[in-house]
Amino acid sequence: MIDAMTSPALSLAAKPTLVGERVLLRPVTAADAPGLAELLNEPEVRRLTGTHGQVRPGVLERAEQWYSSRAAVDDQLYLAVVEQATGEYVGEVVLDDLHADNRSCSFRIALVGPRAFGRGYGTEATRLILAHAFETVGIHRVDLEVFAFNPRARHVYEQVGFVHEGTKRQALHWQGAWVDTQILAVLAGDWSRHRGFPRSGE
């Protein structure tokens, strides 16, 4: 692990390419905008992310502008999740909310929809970016929030080492019902012990 007292200022300016067996993570580009537009338009993705309202016209143009601007920021890391077998964009992983003094950040992942669900892409992509965060960047804490109606995602997060820390009660109002938000985190010390495989001891 990188020592907080001697390491340079914490930054997410470096945009790496991370290679796994099923997926490859690489910096997003404007060419990925159609995939992001698909993701933003997918009803199940919108539900799982608690995204209210309808997608406004011009989503593809906004996606192109957004992804084109991500290379220049040093406090966020946006990587495209690319299927190794086809080279197709199947989602994104993001580190943001960087607090350099606390050596912490937040994590989120979104896949394009049901065609990418249940294939192990999310699990592998999460392990890859956490390894980068802890072993290369020198992050001490990575946290996330997941809605209570998304137990599949929580299972994936716990499978790679996230620990449930608390619940924000009735944080989302979705289709007439209140939904809790669960807070999970993984620490550098946790990661050094299990490297993303807490249950198998690998």
Walk along the chain (202 residues) and give the pLDDT tens digit of each residue: 445 445 568 999 999 999 999 999 999 999 999 999 999 999 989 899 988 877 788 999 999 999 999 999 999 999 999 999 999 999 999 999 999 999 999 999 999 988 899 999 999 999 999 999 999 999 999 999 999 999 999 999 999 999 999 999 999 999 999 999 999 999 999 999 999 999 864 4
| Residue 71 lies inside a defined structural domain of this protein | yes
DSSP classification of residue 70: G
pLDDT at 28: 98
pLDDT at 177: 96
The CA-CA-CA angle for residues 107, 54, 57, to 5°, reads: 100
Beta bridge partners of 104: 99, 141
E strand or H helix that includes residue 167 = strand 163-174
| Paired tokens of 150 | 């998304």
| Residue 182 lies inside a defined structural domain of this protein | no
| Residue 42 lies inside a defined structural domain of this protein | yes
| Residue 5 lies inside a defined structural domain of this protein | no
Query: CA 106 to CA 182: how far, in whole Å?
Result: 14
Question: CATH number for the domain including 26?
Answer: 3.40.630.30
E strand or H helix that includes residue 164 = strand 163-174
E strand or H helix that includes residue 146 = strand 141-147
Domain carrying residue 65: 18-139
The CA-CA-CA angle for residues 64, 69, 72, to 5°, reads: 160
| Residue 9 lies inside a defined structural domain of this protein | no
| Residue 68 lies inside a defined structural domain of this protein | yes
- Structural domains in the chain (count): 1
| Residue 183 lies inside a defined structural domain of this protein | no
pLDDT at 8: 62
Query: CA 72 to CA 85: how far, in whole Å?
Result: 29
Write the CB contacts of 176 (distance below 8 Å, at least 6 apart in sequence): none
| Residue 86 lies inside a defined structural domain of this protein | yes
